Structures are given as structure tokens and as C-alpha cells.
Structure 1
Amino acid sequence: MKTLLDLAMQAHQLTKNKRNSKPKWIKPMCRMQSGSYECGYYVMKHMSTIISANVVDSWIEVFNVQDPFSEEDINQIR
């Protein structure tokens, strides 16, 4: 996916006669589900975190843990 987006950005820059460098990709850490059924809860929890934290500059300030959410966190979203 990253390669495809890099190529699209490069093509766009060529149409605008610009020669910019490749975008700098940042992979923030975030909590990952341990099972196969919690994905909706994780999406909702991450959306809630983004909105309540007013993330503007750095995802690292908010998403810096890779451990799964606790049962209590998931129950709170329910």
C-alpha cells in the first residue's frame, strides 16, 4: 500500500512540475487486538481517543502502547 501511495504522490508531483522527495512515513504504535472478534471495539476506542485527545501534531503522544485493551476497556466501549 505504501508503495502505491508513493507512486501516486510522485505522479501527482509530475503533473504539477514539482520534484519533491518521498513522503516520510511514520508508523505509530497502537493497541492491537488479541482475538478475532474485538475489531469494532478497537476502532471505536481509537476513534474516541483521537477525538478526546485533539491529536494535531503527533500520534506518538497518544498511541504509544502495543498491548491489547483490557476487558474493562472493551466493556466501557460496549
Structure 2
Amino acid sequence: MCPEMISATMLKSDADRILLYMTRSMSALSSKTFILCPYYEKSHWMLLVLCLSKREVYIFDSQQKKRNLRIKEPLNNAFRSYKRLGGQSKGTKLTWIPAQCAQQPGSLDCGYYVMRFMYDIIMNHGNSQDLTKDFSRTLPYSPEEINEVKDFWADYFMNNVEFLA
């Protein structure tokens, strides 16, 4: 899901539109194993990984703290709407699971950690049936692992963005 659309700021300013966006996204992506949802709240990036078939949301937070995420209620509501649109009334509650994930040593790398989480999930755990078992790393990423993500992003940007001269 688009991080701008599901940010805490957007949820606060236009909740009905965001609920519709999330519901439509779930419907469009229902055949996927995971829906990656980079989420920004209170100056911090996290990755939410939605697994529709298991009714679970994995929370990848590189600064694991107890958080009352603003997105929980709207995403739960969108999931209920998605299930009802499919004619289902049972099993319409999401379970939120804090994932064991790499913890950043400083306070400025959360965005890079989210990108690295997404990369690792896609490359190594795309067919996982349980991210809590298959993705369990608490040690920080090395500078090389973070630089790899930076290089991927720079290559993508340079190859896909047209520059005006």
C-alpha cells in the first residue's frame, strides 16, 4: 500500500477516503501472500505486513516500543469491509503480531530498515507461511546491508526517472 495514503496524517485528515483505499487495495491484492504497507507515524517508519489469508498483520518496527498505532482501527475496519464485500461475516478481525526484526542502533535509519525489511521479505520469505518463524533477526543490519538497499534505490531512481536538462 502507498505509504502516503496510509500515513497517520492522512488517516487524521480524510479517514473515509483512506478506509475506501485500504478496502480496495485488499480486494485488488487478495491473491498475494503478503501486502507490504510502509507506515509513518510520529517521525518513525515501520513496516506492516498484511497477510489476508491468515488475518494477520506483522509489525516490523526497528525501534520496538509499545505503540498505540493510529492505523490499527482503520485497517481493522477496512479488513471487515473487505471480508463483507466477499460475502463473509466470520473471521473479520485482524491479529497484530510484533515481528522479531533487526533493531537499529541509532535513531535515523528507520526508513532504510523498512526498505531492507521489504527487500528481505520479497527475496527470502515471499513464500513463507509464518513470518514470525521465518523472519527472526534482532541484530542490527550491517552498514553493507543498508548500503545495498541504498544502492538498489539509487539504481532504480537513476534508471526510471527522467531528468529535465
TM-score normalized with structure 2 length: 0.36
* 1:1-78 equivalence runs, <5 A: 1-14=71-84, 18-21=88-91, 22-56=93-127, 57-78=129-150
- Aligned-residue sequence identity (percent) comes to 32
Q: Which moved more, 1:18-27 or 1:68-77?
A: 68-77
Contact 1:41/1:77, CA 8 A, preserved across alignment: yes
Q: Which has the larger radius of gyration?
A: 1
The structure in which a higher percent of residues are helix is 1
Alpha-carbon distance in 1 for matches of 2:130, 2:120:
13
Give the number of equivalent residue pairs. 78
Alpha-carbon distance in 1 for matches of 2:146, 2:130:
25
Alpha-carbon distance in 1 for matches of 2:88, 2:115:
39
Change (3 A) 1:54 1:9: closer
Deviation at 1:7, TM superposition (A): 2.2
**Paired AA for residue 79 in structure 2:** M
Alpha-carbon distance in 2 for matches of 1:5, 1:24:
11
Q: Once superposed, what is the RMSD of the aligned Cα atoms?
A: 2.8
The structure in which a higher percent of residues are strand is 2
Alpha-carbon distance in 1 for matches of 2:82, 2:72:
15
Change (3 A) 1:17 1:43: closer
Greater RCO, CA 8 A, separation 6+: 1
Structure 2 segments unaligned to the other structure (5+ residues): 1-70, 151-165
